[in-house]
Amino acid sequence: MHQSIAPHWEKLTLLKNEWIAQLETLPQETCSARLAQGWNILQVVEHVITSETGTLGYMKKKTAAPWSEIPLANENHVSKGRQLNEALKSEKRWKAPDVLPDPTGSQSFDNMAKYWDGLRGEYQGFLSDLDPAYFERTIFRHPYSGPLDLYHTLDFLCNHILHHQYQVERIKVML
């Protein structure tokens, strides 16, 4: 993996592994407990995995084109990427983008964790093979902030996990 994205990948891997380890300590009943309003813990995890699946799929499709055909991220893209990532670091609640299906919570935590491990293997392969000429190109489009380069996309994935860790903590207090 290219040295300029390796730290982003390491952070993303660490965040996912730490969160999974924390969630594994919770009883299954806690993870699947239905709330009067909002998602349960399984639905939150499913949402994060669905988002990461869609993000990788989008990047794979986008990078099927030659890098020279993909616009460079400009200052506006960079600014919106920063705004998105700062917003996700907060504990403020945000509506999930309409492009994502509502999570069902029907999969077991173990099945989702196994799927997520496999997905991360796909990410690692994709990032390891990606030509660095794509890194500053707009290879992902976030539904709210618009086009992002690879660096802001990886930051988004990290901050998305952090954001939903806050949500899980709120859910645990309500149970």
Task: Please give the Cα distance from 148 to 158 (Å, whole number).
Answer: 14
The CA R_g of the chain, rounded to the nearest whole Å, is 16
Residues 80, 143 contacting (CB under 8 angstroms) = no
Average pLDDT, the chain: 96
Tens of pLDDT along 4-38? 999 999 999 999 999 999 999 999 999 999 888 89
In a domain, residue 130? The reply is yes
Instruction: Note the Cα 4 to chain centre separation in Å.
Output: 19
Distance CA 8, CA 150 (A): 10
In a domain, 154, yes or no: yes
pTM: 0.95
Q: Which CATH number does the domain housing residue 136 bear?
A: 1.20.120.450
What does the pLDDT read at residue 91?
84
Domain that holds residue 44: 6-174
Asked whether residue 1 is assigned to any structural domain, the reply reads no
Strand intervals (E) in the chain: 140-142, 146-148
Could you tell me if residue 44 is inside a domain?
A: yes
User: How far apart are alpha carbons 173 and 98 in whole angstroms?
Assistant: 27
- Specify the pLDDT at position 90: 87
| Alpha-carbon gap, residue 116 to 95, rounded angstroms | 23
Model pLDDT for residues 93-145, shown as the tens digit of each residue: 888 999 999 999 999 999 999 999 999 999 999 999 999 999 999 999 999 99
Q: What is the DSSP letter of 72?
A: B
Answer for the pair 119, 56: CB distance below 8 angstroms, yes or no: yes
The number of folded domains in the chain is: 1
DSSP 95-114: PPPTTSPPP---S-HHHHHH
Specify the 3-state DSSP secondary structure of 141.
Answer: strand
Residue 112 lies in a domain: yes
